[in-house]
Every structure is written in structure tokens, then in C-alpha cells.
Amino acid sequence: AKLLVLHGPNLNLLGMREPEVYGHATLDQIDADLRARTEAAGHAFDSLQSNAEHALVDRIQSARADGTALILINPAAFTHTSVAIRDALAAVAIPFYEVHLSNPHRREPFRHTSYFSDLAVGVVCGFGADSYRYALDAALSRLAAGTA
Ligand code: DQA
């Protein structure tokens, strides 16, 4: 099956961006780890980071045509603002996991609201770069069970 990982704005700065909040791993390191695990499980991997809401909407729309079975998404700041990305995920009806490095619930009140969590299969937050790995483990189990 095909797995797509999406990263929202400012995640290109991982490694140097507020390392006390987001850790020291770079996005390239995170993606390389996810790709290796996905391919080892016999699946195809693609990822995109964008600072632009429309680019993420466009990639989600094309995921239906390219046969993507599952999406992992860290919408970053768009978590708390983007009806457009939420609507794109609802439109393509591809199951997705919401991922955050930090735990938004222990941060500023404006981070306590997500436009994604009520549609997500699951939400993993607060484990740094490992949040992605735990979400991927869940996604791979779902694929293995044939329910995605
Ligand atoms: C984030 C949490 C968001 O509140 C924030 O805007 C981000 C990153 C996280 O991974 O912890 O950019 O999604």
C-alpha cells in the first residue's frame, strides 16, 4: 500500500527551531526513518513538507488519485486554523493519523483546539520525533490488518 506523510509550516526548521520544545532531530532524519520502516514493511512512502496551506490541500486531493491508503499528518500551526485542510481530508476520505512532536494540550490555550482530531483515526502527541514513529507503527498495523 501507499503511505503519505505531510508536514505543515515551519517543520522544515526542525533541529534548530525551539529545540527545547521540538527536539534536535531534523525533518530529513525523521522522514528517512519513516521511509525505511515503511519500505521494510513492504509499502510505498511519500512525504511533503510545505509552509503553504494550498500546497497541502493540493497534495491531499491528489492522494485520492494516486491510491494513497493512509496519511500521517502534522498540520503544525494549521492544526489550529485550517478548515481547508480538514475539508480536503474529509473529501478524499483517506484514513489519517494526526501527529505532533509537542503536547499541544500543555501549551498555550490557542493550541488546545484542533480542526483534525475528531476526524483522525488517532492522535499521537508529546513524544518528540517518536510521535511520528508511534503513529507509523499504528498505521502499519492497520495496513497489516487490512482495514485501511
Ligand atoms: C506542532 C504543534 C503546533 O501547535 C505548532 O504550531 C507546530 C508544531 C507539533 O508538532 O508539536 O508548529 O504541530
Residue-wise pLDDT tens digits, 34-93: 999 999 999 999 999 999 999 999 999 999 999 999 999 999 999 999 999 999 999 999
- Kindly report the protein residue whose alpha carbon is nearest to atom 1 of ligand 1: 76
Contact 121, 142 (CB under 8 A): yes
pTM: 0.97
The string of pLDDT tens digits covering residues 114-141 is 999 999 999 999 999 999 999 999 999 9
Residue 97's pLDDT band (boundaries 50, 70, 90)?
A: very high
Does residue 104 sit in helix, strand or coil?
helix
Tell me how far apart the alpha carbons of residues 101 and 27 are, in angstroms, rounded to a whole number. Answer: 11
**Domain extents in the chain:** 2-144
CATH topology assigned to domain 2-144: Rossmann fold (3.40.50)
- Kindly report the protein residue whose alpha carbon is nearest to atom 13 of ligand 1: 76
